[in-house]
Structure 1
Amino acid sequence: MWRDRDFRRLWVGQTVSQLGEHTTLVVLPLCAVLTLDAGAGELGVLRAVGQAPILLLSLLAGAWVDRWRTRTVMVLADVGRALALGAVAVAGLLGALGLPALLVAGFAVGALSVFFDVAYQSSLVRLVERDQLVRGNSALEGSRSAAQIAGPALGGALVSLLSAPIAAVSGALLFALSCLSIRRIRRGESLPEATQRRSRRHPKPTRGLPSRLPDFTRRRSQRHSESMRDLSQRLSDFTRRERSQRLQEPTQECSQPHPEPRQELSQRPPEPTQEPPRRPPRVWRRIGEGLGFVVGDPSLRAVCLASAAFQFSLAATMTVYLLFLPRELHLSGTEVGLALAATGPGALLGSLLAARLPGRFGHGVVLVSAAALGDGAFLFVPVLHGSSAGTVLALVAVSLVFGTFGQLVNVTVMGVRQALTPDGMQGRAAATITFVGMGLTPLGSLLGGFLADEWGLRLSLAVTAAGMLLSPLLMSLSPLARLGRTLPDRRLLVD
């Protein structure tokens, strides 16, 4: 797998892109809190706007990515995110940066990240063999873990040393480097069969015409050709009907001394035609197919429910957490970045464990136990006080535990989903699970900001952290808990 240049280019591009994304996840909220002095409600709105594209675009992204070339999608997403963060830096230099500008940039980065994430997961399936999916996912998720190590620390350090808007330039540069790496993927990627059939049914109207012909001339020529073909078809149908009528009624026609004049073609009443049943647009049919496939599989359905519970609670928890560290514990921007960056080494360890533990203890046991240990780590944060070195070390330990077991769950779930999904459904299945699993994150962020204003930071953090334990509870009651050491290949599990 590592000998494949295209896989290495995908891995490098995805790693750098994840580094830029995790840098941005720290820079934009800290920019709002430290530079614009945003409150809990404003921070909740900012995070909700950045997460809203997951709810709005995930299903459409899955349907479209299945019909597009994944390399093109990833390149365009990187370019768009680099431009959005560059605009934040320019606005900061000009003194025009405000919360509306951060909201626009956050929404743009979130929307393009949805397309990038769906595309790179689908691209992996097309680059490696199915028996190498777990190794490929471990490599990609391991790179994401490495990005989690450097991204928050880099973002926090840049915000502390420079101004937060200028720190956004680092994310823009990283997205540009990711674009350069992914563009170098050379393996030909054929369009899906459905898109090829559509291209054959609807060829380009300018085929056969000179390329330098003006547009209006080509349109006139096309309309003239279509009208002539329509007239020829109508005359042919009229002649056929007349001949059939003469053959069926020869005597009646001869017995009439004065036959009635025949009606002209334009005077004949139109023949009744049966309208074909209306079908939903193609993209919505494809979305419905993805939803039906995921909902019809008990294991994938359980993944959606558990992911929704986890992401909703995590969004609320992180909104309060980002305010709790600087305002309740009085940590600096660098210390906040260090506490967040500690998730990265744990996630790297979790990616390594994901290549061994599911095959040894079973996928179900690993999923339930790892989710319970990782999600329960945040319950220790509300009991911390002060900004001493011991407090910082405790936050680092919590992040290590959360990163290790959370990443173990992520890699295992991704392998389960890919093993149970046919190639032609990979994008839609990934987008459906993303939509259901993360579609509630904007509401979670808003809830976290509301609870922080009403109940205070410490109590709100305890409540939202306890809600994260609902995810392992749902998995323990589903067919996921009974998954063994091996996974079926493209087959639906039945309860």
Structure 2
Amino acid sequence: MNVSVSDAAAASSEVDTGRPRFARFWAAQTVSQAGQRFGLVALPVVAIDTLHAGASEVGYLTAALTVCYLLIGLPAGAWVDRWSKRTTMIRAAVIRAVVLAAVPALWFFDRLSLGWLYAVAVVVGVASVFFDVAYQSYVPFIVPDEGIERANARLESSAQISAAGGPAAAGLLLKAVSAPVVIAFDAVAYAVCAGLLATVKDSEPSRREKAAGDARLTRDILDGVRFVVGSAVLRRLLVAVGVSNFFATLTMTLTPLLILRTLGLGSTVMGVVLGVGTLGGLLAAFTLPKVRARLDAGRTMTVGLLLAGVSMAAFPAAGSLGGAGGAAAAIPVGLLVLGQFGMTWGAVTFNIAQVSVRQRVCPRNMLARMTASIRFVVWGSMPVAAILAGWLGSRIGVVPCLWIGVVGGFLTALPIIGIDRLIPSAAPAPDSRARDV
């Protein structure tokens, strides 16, 4: 059934998304996000400062983390729909913990190289494919339908708190220890995440119950693709998220080079800028209920995408000021903070709204395949964008390449225009209706 904003607000007092099962899942996600933010700051610093990587090598590193969505994204969705989503997340978290722990170990024994870093990124990327597909398909199994958007907002709020504090803490920690050591914190966080997930109980059917309805893997994959392509709502969201992620990846791939090389601000400033800037995402998570009370889902997503696109212009604007020193350095730093703040505010507003719409219009037995089909296109475009960013950055320069990202960012809102008239007709299947679990 479709749940309007007013209905959701009226039911919010009855929907307890803070029950023990959701609270444990929320805690696991928070710990995982905090550690991941350390890794996102430390990995490019390891490549740039420790291994002396250039723009192309940084692009390859980003591509290594995301290329797995192109290789196994679609079958991962079919597999996760057959497997226990909680068990899948636990195993993926353990794999990431073990592999990331190898980075400081290799560095300690003077064996770390770009080749090893790429290999670690690929393995982490594979594990992330399964974790992320299971993660975005799991919420409807631990909260009723009318609580989905509320639960997603809470999950996103903790993700943004981690995004705000993690890079800043990592930047400060980088002053005391080497970047490979900081990655060890990421490994520990994933291990803690796995332990917390092991305590969560849900309403998902057992693997044996799912097995009775198993079909050939290829048919399962095609069913998921057909469902996404055949849904006017999901099809538009697919295009919007795909274009948005492509140009956001282009921008964020070059951001470490912009801060460390073009502006010469250092890794500590990079961590603080990214951390403080992402407070915009936290604000988005807290203000979304009020925004949704005034705007339909489609208009909320459009506003978010346009805000993100406008804010992206702050990055090349800061880069055009050059490597200013002393008090003059405050101007590019301020622009970077404002840009990151606005970009994440808009992006998170869009993301919470679009994920919640997707979860409500999709049958539960196809959640993973729907998620994987969308992520195949969305995340599959990211390695292409990362490699293109590295190639363009090394030829036309970092700042001109960032302006290309800004122009592309404004295109992301076009597919969302008019989507509100389509959402009510995208009625979910009977097995996706709310159950008080």
TM-score normalised according to structure 2 size: 0.89
Matched, 1:310 2:263: no
Aligned pairs (5 A) from 1:148-297: 148-187=163-202, 189-191=204-206, 195-197=210-212, 282-297=216-231
How many Å apart are 1:487 and its aligned residue? 8.3
How many Å apart are 1:325 and its aligned residue? 0.9
**CA 1:164/1:3 → structure 2, altered by over 3 Å: closer, same or farther?**
closer
Gap regions ≥5 residues in structure 1:
200-280
Aligned to 1:18: 33
Distance, in Å, in 2 between the alignment partners of 1:73 and 1:187 is 14
* Structure 2 residue identity aligned to 1:112: A
- SS in structure 2 at match of 1:162: coil
Distance, in Å, in 2 between the alignment partners of 1:114 and 1:355 is 29
Distance, in Å, in 2 between the alignment partners of 1:282 and 1:149 is 44
Query: How big is each residue's C-alpha offset from its partner over 1:102-130, in whole Å with a ceiling of 9 and x where there is no partner?
Result: 10111111111111111122221111101
Decide which of 389, 395, 415 is 1:454's aligned counterpart: 395
Query: How big is each residue's C-alpha offset from its partner over 1:159-194, in whole Å with a ceiling of 9 and x where there is no partner?
Result: 332111111111011111111111111346422676
* Structure 1 residue identity aligned to 2:397: G
* Structure 2 residue identity aligned to 1:328: T
Give yes or no for contact 2:243–2:412 (8 Å, CA) kept in 1: yes
How many Å apart are 1:468 and its aligned residue? 1.6
Matched, 1:53 2:59: no
Matched, 1:37 2:52: yes
Distance, in Å, in 2 between the alignment partners of 1:157 and 1:65 is 38
How many Å apart are 1:359 and its aligned residue? 3.5
How many Å apart are 1:394 and its aligned residue? 2.0
TM-score normalised according to structure 1 size: 0.79
Matched, 1:328 2:328: no
Aligned to 2:330: 389
Give yes or no for contact 1:344–1:400 (8 Å, CA) kept in 2: yes
Aligned to 1:257: none
Query: How big is each residue's C-alpha offset from its partner over 1:1-44, in whole Å with a ceiling of 9 and x where there is no partner?
Result: 24411111100001111222222111111110111110101111
Equivalent pairs counted in the alignment come to 408
Matched, 1:123 2:138: yes
Give yes or no for contact 1:419–1:487 (8 Å, CA) kept in 2: no
Decide which of 74, 97, 106 is 1:82's aligned counterpart: 97
**CA 1:462/1:80 → structure 2, altered by over 3 Å: closer, same or farther?**
same
Give yes or no for contact 2:231–2:426 (8 Å, CA) kept in 1: no
Aligned to 1:480: 419
* Structure 2 residue identity aligned to 1:62: G
Aligned to 1:421: 362
Aligned to 2:428: 490
Give yes or no for contact 2:296–2:420 (8 Å, CA) kept in 1: no
Aligned to 1:470: 411
Aligned to 1:264: none
Distance, in Å, in 2 between the alignment partners of 1:312 and 1:373 is 17
Query: How big is each residue's C-alpha offset from its partner over 1:20-71, in whole Å with a ceiling of 9 and x where there is no partner?
Result: 2222111111110111110101111111111111222221221111111111
Distance, in Å, in 2 between the alignment partners of 1:321 and 1:8 is 34
Query: How big is each residue's C-alpha offset from its partner over 1:285-330, in whole Å with a ceiling of 9 and x where there is no partner?
Result: 1110000000001110011111111111111111222211111111
**CA 1:472/1:457 → structure 2, altered by over 3 Å: closer, same or farther?**
same
Distance, in Å, in 2 between the alignment partners of 1:160 and 1:283 is 49
**CA 1:411/1:483 → structure 2, altered by over 3 Å: closer, same or farther?**
farther
Gap regions ≥5 residues in structure 2:
1-15, 431-437
* Structure 2 residue identity aligned to 1:28: L
**CA 1:132/1:417 → structure 2, altered by over 3 Å: closer, same or farther?**
same
**CA 1:481/1:374 → structure 2, altered by over 3 Å: closer, same or farther?**
farther
**CA 1:294/1:343 → structure 2, altered by over 3 Å: closer, same or farther?**
farther
RMSD after superposition: 2.0
Which sits farther off after the overlay, 414-423 or 387-396? 387-396
Decide which of 127, 131, 136 is 2:151's aligned counterpart: 136
Give yes or no for contact 1:367–1:481 (8 Å, CA) kept in 2: no
**CA 1:469/1:86 → structure 2, altered by over 3 Å: closer, same or farther?**
same
How many Å apart are 1:491 and its aligned residue? 6.4
Query: How big is each residue's C-alpha offset from its partner over 1:418-467, in whole Å with a ceiling of 9 and x where there is no partner?
Result: 11101111111111111112211001000000111110111111112221
Distance, in Å, in 1 between the alignment partners of 2:18 and 2:276 is 31
The structure whose Rg is larger is: 1
Moved over 6 A (4+): none
Distance, in Å, in 2 between the alignment partners of 1:431 and 1:193 is 22
